[in-house]
Amino acid sequence: MRKPVIATASLAGCFGCHMSILDIDEKILDLIELVDFHKSPITDIKKFGRKCDIGLIEGGCCNSENVHVLRDFRKNCKILVSVGECAVMGGLPALRNGIPVAECLEEAYLNGPTVHENTERILPNDDELPMILDKVYPCHEIVKIDYFLPGCPPRAELIWEALIGLIQGKEIKIPYEAFKYD
């Protein structure tokens, strides 16, 4: 019987959701018995070589490269899961959404308190650099997302339970407390 294939990627975020995947501790060995990891920082496979059953995306979209990666995941994954607050709602990177891009660039490269070496006041502008978007977008505003795992980052146990449910073809049931903290 063929193992389900999983792919993962990190967009505009902190990589904390991938750390939560690793935080399932010894269950990672059980997971490796159940699935094949494909395109992922976990395997260091950088390009899709085959279709995947489950894609886990963390981070939102703040630049053109993020959008490209996300669309590629949607095209190559049967099920796509937004993992963590950055993917679900934009998270901390979306704090810049109320500030014009030009103002963000000026603060980062020209006027910021830690800017000392840019005496020529040069803003990065190269075709090799991804274009910054007008705001940080949550993943579902770019592509269709099948499931959402909340948290910053989501608890390792929630990720484990969601993956096991998806592998077994069951509907993911997310407990109330994962969305609301009383």
pLDDT in tens, 63-110: 999 999 999 999 999 999 999 999 999 999 999 999 999 999 999 999
With CA atoms as reference, report the closest residue to 62 among 152, 132, 139: 132
Q: Does residue 177 carry a pLDDT above 90?
A: no
Torsion of the alpha carbons at 152, 140, 146 and 17, rounded to the nearest 10: -20
Q: Does residue 179 carry a pLDDT above 80?
A: no
Domain presence at residue 119: no
CA distances from 182 to 151, 156, 173, 178 (A): 14, 20, 19, 11
Contact of 34 with 167, CB cutoff 8 Å: yes
pLDDT of 9-62, one tens digit each? Answer: 999 999 999 999 999 989 989 998 999 999 988 888 889 999 999 999 999 999
The 3-class secondary structure across 36-54, one letter per residue, is: EECEECCCCECCCCCCEEE
Average pLDDT for 150-175: 90
* pLDDT number for residue 130: 95
Tokens of 125: 């502008």
Domain presence at residue 101: no
Domain presence at residue 100: no
Residue 35 domain boundaries: 5-95+132-179
Domain presence at residue 57: yes
CATH assignment at residue 163: 3.40.50.700
Domain presence at residue 48: yes
* pLDDT number for residue 50: 93
Q: Looking at the 3D structure of the chain, how many domains does it have?
A: 1
* pLDDT number for residue 114: 85
* pLDDT number for residue 182: 52
Domain presence at residue 139: yes
68 or 169, which is more confident: 68
135 or 174, which is more confident: 135
